[in-house]
């Protein structure tokens, strides 16, 4: 489902406001310097690990999407 979201609905260059409109408020703001927003995805296919979707922006435009499971 997450892969479909990334492939079909998110694209580099999207405005931050449009992403929040589409996904809702993020689970948290990223405290690392390499991302701006985190969406928790729930359990991964690997059992007890949880996935997260990390989004990075520049000038309120999406510049990077990273999915983490583990």
Whole-number Å distance between alpha carbons of 63 and 70: 23
The pTM of the whole model exceeds 0.75: yes
Is the separation of the CB atoms in 11 and 19 below 8 Å?
A: no
Reported for 17-25, long-range contacts at CB under 8 A and 24+ positions apart, including other chains, are 17/60, 19/55, 19/62
pLDDT tens, residue order, the chain (70 aa): 677 888 889 999 999 999 999 999 988 766 666 788 989 888 877 667 788 899 999 999 999 999 887 6
Whole-number Å distance between alpha carbons of 38 and 40: 6
Instruction: Return the domain boundaries, the chain.
Output: 2-69
Structural domain 2-69, CATH architecture: 2-Layer Sandwich (3.30)
Pick from 40, 14, 8, 17: nearest CA to 27 = 40
């Amino acid at each position: 489902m997450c892969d479909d979201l990334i492939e079909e609905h998110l694209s580099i260059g999207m405005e931050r406001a449009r992403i929040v409109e589409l996904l809702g408020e993020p689970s948290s703001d990223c405290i690392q310097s390499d991302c701006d927003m985190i969406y928790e995805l729930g359990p991964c296919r690997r059992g007890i690990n949880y996935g997260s979707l990390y989004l990075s922006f520049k000038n309120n435009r999406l510049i990077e999407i990273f999915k983490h499971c583990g």
